[in-house]
């Protein structure tokens, strides 16, 4: 006889399990929804050991990933793709590159100053056995809260005291321009004040670099403007193995890839960001590069493939080994 689920629950075994669950006095346990184990994931690139470290989640209204989309078109797309709405829990995937002689952090989370669901980098570094004082270099892809507000600790002291902090010259010039907070929309003012506070707080450690600079052996910064005026991506190469760090070139694993021309509400210049997004996605699909996306589903590793007029994010198969 075929055992269906209904049959299972009608029998004594199924009824027994259900009955036991009902008798548990305090529900399933005292666990919190969303609770997880340590948020880090290690993998090799050539001779280096890489670790993705979670800074936690950011909660973003789903509609914010398509601010210029036709409402009916977006609605149909959202339904067809079963997009979580009205909000999306996006990841924040910080990267640590251990080259042996040098430890490099790419972006550093929001340091508990932004959304309360984020700010977990320090705890996850500790869980991964990494002392912040052992970081030699912090590379900032752009000066948004979720990428650079972790430069200072809760006492406003440098969180990575021994590290040099590298950022693109154009990005640095934009955020530190005098009087900028008075010239940006009100919604951006706190971002400007916060970015300046962080960058000024590490002024003694800071070095600005031009596009295309090799900031450490095998670690090259590349211009990908639009999301912010000087937003950068990175190309890492060790012993012929390559990882592309896409930072915030594309931010939603479904929307931004299927519709690269739809603007993200956080893009400083929507048109430029969309052009950059399409150019980078074209390149990634053509070259089949392993990619780390700061906001792609944990641990943020995957590849881009073409899909009709747009693209698709193919998550990399990762190993679970506790």
Residues that bind Zn ion (CB under 5 A): 146, 248
| 29 token code pair | 């346990």
CB-nearer residue toward Zn ion: 201 or 293: 293
As a whole number of angstroms, the distance between CA 190 and CA 135 comes to 28
CB-nearer residue toward Zn ion: 99 or 110: 110
Q: What is the CA radius of gyration of the chain?
A: 22
CB of 179 to Zn ion, least distance (A): 25
CB of 90 to Zn ion, least distance (A): 8
DSSP assignment string, 38-73: --EEEEEETTEEEEEEEEEEEEEEGGGGGTTS-HHH
**How many distinct helices (H) and strands (E) make up the chain?**
9, 14
Is residue 244 within 8 Å of 291, Cβ to Cβ? Answer: yes
CB-nearer residue toward Zn ion: 218 or 281: 281
CB-nearer residue toward Zn ion: 63 or 248: 248
CB of 20 to Zn ion, least distance (A): 45
CB of 48 to Zn ion, least distance (A): 24
CB of 92 to Zn ion, least distance (A): 7
DSSP assignment string, 214-240: EEETTEEEEE--SSSTT-EEEEEEETT
CB-nearer residue toward Zn ion: 63 or 146: 146
* Cα 221-225-227 angle, rounded to 5 deg: 115
CB-nearer residue toward Zn ion: 146 or 171: 146
Is residue 120 within 8 Å of 111, Cβ to Cβ? Answer: no
As a whole number of angstroms, the distance between CA 83 and CA 71 comes to 15
CB-nearer residue toward Zn ion: 78 or 247: 247
Helix (H) / strand (E) element for 98: namely strand 87-98
Sign of CA dihedral 59, 61, 67, 70: positive
CB of 146 to Zn ion, least distance (A): 4
CB of 294 to Zn ion, least distance (A): 5
């Amino acid at each position: 006889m075929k055992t269906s689920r209904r049959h299972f629950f009608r029998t004594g075994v199924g009824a027994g399990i259900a009955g036991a669950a009902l008798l548990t006095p305090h529900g399933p346990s005292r666990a919190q929804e969303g609770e997880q184990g340590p948020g880090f994931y290690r993998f090799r690139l050539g001779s280096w050991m890489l670790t993705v470290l979670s800074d936690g989640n950011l909660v973003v209204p789903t509609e914010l990933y398509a601010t210029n989309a036709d409402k009916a078109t977006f609605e149909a797309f959202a339904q067809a793709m079963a997009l979580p709405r009205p909000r999306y829990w996006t990841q924040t995937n910080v990267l640590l590159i251990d080259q042996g002689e040098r430890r490099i952090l790419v972006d550093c989370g929001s340091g508990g100053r932004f959304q309360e669901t984020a700010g977990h980098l320090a705890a996850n570094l500790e869980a991964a056995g990494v002392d912040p004082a052992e970081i030699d270099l912090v590379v900032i892809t752009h000066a948004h809260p979720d990428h650079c507000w972790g430069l200072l600790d809760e006492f406003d002291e440098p969180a990575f005291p021994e590290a040099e902090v590298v950022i693109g010259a154009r990005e640095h010039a934009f955020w530190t321009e005098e009087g900028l907070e008075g010239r940006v929309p009100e919604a951006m003012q706190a971002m400007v004040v916060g970015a300046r506070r962080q960058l000024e707080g590490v002024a003694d450690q800071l070095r600005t670099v031009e596009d295309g600079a090799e900031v450490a052996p095998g670690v090259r910064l590349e211009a990908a403007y639009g999301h912010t005026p000087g937003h950068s991506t990175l190309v890492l190469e060790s012993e012929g193995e390559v990882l592309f760090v896409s930072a915030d070139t594309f931010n939603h694993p479904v929307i931004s890839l299927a519709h690269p021309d739809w603007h993200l509400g956080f893009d400083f210049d929507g048109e430029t960001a969309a052009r950059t997004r399409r150019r980078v996605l074209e390149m990634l699909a053509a070259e089949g590069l392993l990619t780390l996306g700061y906001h792609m589903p944990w641990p943020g590793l995957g590849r881009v493939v073409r899909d009709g007029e747009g693209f698709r994010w193919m998550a990399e198969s990762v190993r679970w080994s506790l």
